[in-house]
Amino acid sequence: MVSKVTQRGFWTHVEGPHTKVKLTEFNPSSRHHIADRLMKLRGWVAELRNNNAQGEYYLTDIIAFAVRDNVSVDPLAVNEPLEVQGINDRRQLASLERYYQQRQAECLMRNGATLLDPARVDVRGALSTGKDVVIDVNV
């Protein structure tokens, strides 16, 4: 299958070089597109200001910058609200750290590791295990 992007849209050859189908929607993952968006994001981050009562930088301001610059903003549904939860104090930081560690433990167990007490295993950095590995507490 051969695909190409033209000025008039995205075309893909389906069953041979002479059969083409025009796709009206696609996920542009070209390096140029990604690099362009990253450069814009970098600029928007540089524009962030903390001139509010809390002295905080609001990442949500980036949405306003994108709209201002005529860049489409698409909503993203998340299954777990904690994945996009903000952190404003040490209690919230600790809560999200625990959530992260629980996810890490679940991933290890899904991949074949046995955790003697999943609530007392903290993963720092990258960890890979083999099947039937046993991990004790406070490791």
pLDDT at 61 over 80: yes
* For residues 27-50, average pLDDT: 82
**Per mean pLDDT, which range of 2-6, 49-53, 74-78 is the poorest?**
2-6
Answering whether pTM is above 0.85, one says no
Outline where DSSP puts E strands in the chain: 3-6, 9-13, 20-23, 114-115, 134-135
Which domains does the chain carry?
83-139 (2.160.10.10)
* Residue with token string 């069953």: 15
Lowest mean pLDDT among 56-65, 101-110, 111-120: 56-65
What mean pLDDT do residues 48-67 have? 90
Strands 114-115 and 20-23, by their bridges, are: unpaired
- 29 band by pLDDT with thresholds 50, 70 and 90: low
Rounded CA separation 126/90 (Å): 24
